[in-house]
Structure 1
């Protein structure tokens, strides 16, 4: 029997009213730490070379204490930072000679990483000869030297079929790069120049963060800064406890299912989440022990992504005023099982898709489980990450003497699920980033890679209907110029699209299609395909699920969806029982209130 694991941060005192610094200084230092992370973020974005980082912004920066407690994140992807401590803790376990000027890299799920494509770089910050903080820059790299030209490998059974792993490795000493370590990474990479540039962008971000924290401690005094950290964690714990105390007590359960993947999970992968809410103690336990064993492929979660995703579901259902710091995290416990696909993986199973797919399903289950409390709680299911519009493309560029290229594109992605009071977020992409991944500029993609984006846009009627609608999906067509392009994608939601909650409808399903002249060929949902010169790939992402009874939707909102082109008037009448008539301008519809009242009464 595989063992249970429970994570529980103990930092922060939810009952402490002790103040170490005054309220004004608290506000000043909070903003200063946020500004440091923002500056680190700008360094990564401006200095990186690969499109997945500088265009789509698949990276995050953070500051932790030297004891691995989360201090500050700004504009970071949720999946990268809500369990960042798991990636830095091995450093103090494995190294007893950490010094100023060291830099460490970790992209191995078996030493606390998310998945092998996310290179996590951490640098200790010494002040007065003592280590006080870690500055961290995490970037998703375009290539990691896997057998297939992708960083997402659902069919890779173990880490030996994935790309290179750096299991908590020192790559700089006394501010000097270790050339041998970088040689290993560059040699195993299809685009070594891009890889090296992206790594050095992370180094620049860490060095920037180190300097700014040193300056901060010099200006305000180390004791004041450390006093702020303790007060900040106490405030986070009090805020989270107060928010949880307003939730209905009880145990709530929810289950969703990842699509079948032939040879890996022929029946799909059920994802079950249970939460226990204790409003008196101000704590929530997220229990994912009741899930299947690891599967023979890359869909297994890492301990890092499982822990972070369980926390994300909770924080998505708390007020946004609750800070995302170690104190707030202390009010959320996570219980998982070793050897489970939704838990801690057992070496050496594959985890290359641990930040998307099954992980997306875990996060949407963590959102939706709160709907068991009834309105206004919870959220409908959202789309996942990897339709063909978010695939990894590669080939030999005919305009650059056949030079190879490989990169993940973000041409079009899925919609967010609805919440009480709000329709879903159109540019959601997936729960792991919650809208922070940016949609690629068509012009930038076409200038960097030998492809043409023929069209992309919203797919009308693909939203989950409800009192509050899920966001519609995006779809489009793109193709290679004068060469054969390989695309690798993992389009979950083709068979089981995102579900609605509390009476809401499901979002539209994903689809992947090869276009050859006038012929269209449906492609597998999880595949590596060669799109030959003269062919095109067409895709549809998933729409988000709806929240609540469609007949409770405000007729004005229905008219708004029609006027945006997301719904036709016939569907408005059939689904929402809302009658529309031409308005005062061409193409604009208005609500026929009398006919609508008659339809809804019937």
Structure 2
């Protein structure tokens, strides 16, 4: 994001803007985004948007500066300005009543499944804002019924691309454009309903912005925008100046994907903290060239992950707007797996997988500063726990095809100083915004039975501050064959701990055959399961922060009584002894036994990554 734009000079004089009004208006903008978000969630039809919240809304100034985000996925909104910049270059005339569709990775999109609706907002005839609604659609017309295509080497294998296409003019939908989606995308009624929910959200935002400008006056709103950007920048500068200076690097590795990345994909981030200028540079140029598949990360996602990894390590109350983002400078290169992929290379997995590893690398750079800085690696995405399922629902009078993405087991978050990881973290670029599916709603909507969803005991990344544990479970079809596509990462190289913390358990997918036998599946693949078969999954756990022997025994006891930790691991890993209490159910600390264990030299503890077969199934 360039440090500039119309009105920037006046921002330096923003100190004369009423601070109370600054707070009022910033909350008004956030409330507009909140209403947009609620509109998408309530009006959408697919479970991945409606229930799991794989969607985000945001507001930009007309000159593409991020004003505000509310509760949104970091990967969706932290580089949002790239989505509208091409529109003003491609169209010589942008009018009130227009709306544009953009899901092209080569025109500022995240990846092709994230269809973004962009609406210009005119106030008194002047273009002032963009409202945006970005939703992950379960199907976008690829040859296979999934949007995660690691073996798709180019966009011709990905489905429909709308590269900044005008879909509304004079507030009227252009039927010929919509007809492309209806013809090409599976279960078109679901797709169209999800798209219409985005339209409703952006038009709602447009109305609310017009009302806000009318109430306060256009000059006051313009002055607020500059004051708000300046406030975000000043807060970011102050936060960065409190960090130790220097250059730090961290390397991660994505699991192998045969034929695309046989040895996995190594990713390195180099973070330079200039605490005199209040500036952080994130250099990701020293990374491999693009791979021949869908693992390549788009420019919008790379920029978002670089900024996100930094935001995680500075004051969380800092506004995530253009001003604060201007103090984080990503350095990218062309034709890099985490850079600027060149048309027509495949990028279908750009929002997950390698991108999550990149965000982890950035956030873990700060752990090189030592305690209390930084964080461990968070869990990756995510086995059949987040599978794209498809089939035919035969429970009704007429058979109905279905395709959706389930969110049944989100990966565990990393440990950080003073905090255990979040159980519902999902991944480094989702950070707890997405939610687990409601089992009851999934079962009512689709012909699927959820047999189990539970926390996997002893799976967390052990540390002074634990990474969150993994989630395991299983599900099966009730009517005929079900196909499940999954895109796991972390089965071979699980999330690592930092500063003495241990790695979390890796992910995995298994198919339960009719005879009850479990058959391990490659981490990146698909399988079909009949009515008497089932799919089992385990998500990734987060890495630990600090030595497990430094963990407060009371916190170890709490994990025991949750059922997340076994007494054996409490003793061997944490040096904590416990016994059953008087009720015969709960554990209580054995203080003398704990003191003895911790006084002894601890045994070497480790969790080796189990290599899993990633051979592509035919």
| TM-score bracket for this pair, using the shorter chain length | over 0.9
Q: 2:143 aligns with which of 143, 147, 152?
A: 147
Please list the CA deviations of residues 32-67 of structure 1 after superposition, one character each: whole Å capped at 9, or x if unmatched.
111111111111111111111111011101110000
Candidates 221, 239, 243, aligned match of 2:217: 221
Q: Residues 484 and 472 of structure 1: is their aligned pair in 2 closer, same or farther, counting only changes over 3 Å?
A: same
Partner of 2:291: 295
Paired residue for 1:518?
Answer: 516
* 1:130-161 C-alpha deviation (Å, 9 max, x unpaired): 10000111111111000000011111110001
1:259 pairs, out of 255, 260, 263, with 255
Question: 1:488-567 counterparts in 2 under 5 A?
Answer: 488-516=485-513, 517-567=515-565
Alignment partner of 2:124 out of 128, 151, 156: 128
Cα distance per residue 1:457-507 (max 9 Å; x no partner) = 100000000000000000001011131111000111011110000010000
Cα RMSD of the aligned pairs, angstroms, is: 1.2
- Residue matched to 1:4: none
Contact 1:482 1:534 in 2 (8 A): no
1:583 to partner: Cα distance: 2.4
User: Residue 462 of structure 1 is aligned with which of 440, 454, 459?
Assistant: 459
TM-score, structure 2 as length reference: 0.95
Q: Look up the SS of the partner of 1:369 in the other structure.
A: helix
**Aligned residue for 2:587?**
589
1:262-411 aligned within 5 A? 262-400=258-396, 401-411=398-408
Mean alpha-carbon deviation: is it higher for 426-435 or for 398-407?
A: 398-407
Alpha-carbon shift at residue 432 of structure 1 (Å):
1.6
**Deviations 1:338-387 (CA, angstroms, capped at 9, x unpaired):** 10111110111100000000011011111111100001111111111231
The total of aligned residue pairs comes to 596
Match of 1:471 among 464, 468, 471: 468
In the superposition, relative to structure 1, how do residues 594 and 29 fare at CA in structure 2: closer, same or farther (>3 Å)?
Answer: same
SS at match of 1:455: strand
Q: What is the match of residue 3 of structure 1?
A: none
SS in 1 for 2:573: helix
Q: Distance in 2 between matches of 1:396 and 1:13?
A: 59
Q: Distance in 2 between matches of 1:239 and 1:423?
A: 27
How many Å separate the matches in 2 of 1:14 and 1:334? Answer: 26
Q: Deviation per CA, 1:278-314: give whole Å up to 9, x if none.
A: 0000000000001001001100000000110110000
Deviation at 1:593, TM superposition (A): 1.7
Residue matched to 1:440:
437
Residue aligning to 1:569: 567
Q: Which residue of 1 aligns with 2:227?
A: 231
Structure 1 residue ranges without an equivalent (≥5): 1-6
Structure 1 residue 600: Cα displacement: 1.0
Residue pair 1:154, 1:297 contacting (<8 A) in 2 also: yes
1:84 aligns with 2:59: no
DSSP-derived class of the 1:479 partner:
strand
User: Does the 8 A contact of 1:104 with 1:123 survive in 2?
Assistant: yes
Contact kept? 1:15, 1:238, Cα under 8 Å: no
Tell me the distance in 2 between the aligned counterparts of 1:273 and 1:385: 20
CA distance in 2, matches of 1:444, 1:585: 37
1:59 corresponds to which of 37, 55, 62:
55
| Contact 2:353/2:489 (8 A) holds in 1 | yes
What TM-score does the superposition give when structure 1 sets the normalisation length?
0.97
Q: Is the 8 A contact 2:10 2:226 kept in 1?
A: no
Name the SS for the 2:57 alignment partner. Answer: strand
Q: Does 1:413 align with 2:407?
A: no
SS of 2:40 mapped into structure 1: helix
C-alpha contact (below 8 Å) 2:392/2:402 kept by paired residues? yes
Q: Deviations over 1:196-235 (max 9, x none)?
A: 1111111111111111111101111110011010000000
Q: 2:583 & 2:540 partners in 1: Cα distance? A: 32
Over residues 533-574 of structure 1, what are the superposed CA-to-partner deviations in whole Å (9 max), with x where a residue is unaligned?
211111111110000011110111111110100001111000
SS in 1 for 2:395: helix
Determine the C-alpha separation between the residues in 2 that align with 1:541 and 1:228. 44
CA distance in 1, matches of 2:343, 2:372: 41
1:532, distance to aligned residue in structure 2 (A): 2.0
Selected match of 2:102 from 83, 90, 106? 106
Cα 1:600–1:8 change in 2 (3 A) is farther
Q: Is the 8 A contact 1:251 1:277 kept in 2?
A: yes
* Residue 130 of structure 2 corresponds to residue 170 of structure 1: no
* SS of match in other structure, 2:27: helix
CA distance in 2, matches of 1:436, 1:387: 19
Deviation at 1:21, TM superposition (A): 2.3
CA displacement at 1:402 relative to structure 2: 2.9
Query: Residue 14 of structure 2 contacts residue 226 of structure 2 at CA under 8 Å; is this kept in 1?
Result: no
Q: Note the C-alpha offset of 1:413.
A: 2.1
Distance 2:352 2:440 in 1: 27
Distance 1:284 1:14, change over 3 A: farther
SS at match of 2:106: helix
1:52–1:142 contact (8 Å) kept in structure 2: yes
Q: Secondary structure at the match of 1:111?
A: coil
State the alpha-carbon separation in 2 of the partners of residues 15 and 175 from structure 1.
34
| Inter-partner Cα distance in structure 2 for 1:113 and 1:70 | 15
Contact 2:268/2:287 (<8 A) preserved = yes
**Distance in 2 between the 1:77 and 1:583 partners?**
43
Q: Which runs of 5+ in 2 are unaligned?
A: 601-618
Query: Is the CA contact 2:11–2:229 (under 8 Å) kept in the aligned structure 1?
Result: no
Q: 1:558 to 1:18 in 2, by over 3 A?
A: same
Higher mean displacement: 177-186 or 587-596 = 587-596
User: In 2, Cα distance between the equivalents of 1:270 and 1:437?
Assistant: 27
* Equivalent-residue separation in structure 2 for 1:14 and 1:172 (angstroms): 35
The equivalent residue for 1:186 is 182
Q: Say if 1:270 and 1:36 are closer, same or farther in 2 by CA, change over 3 A.
A: same
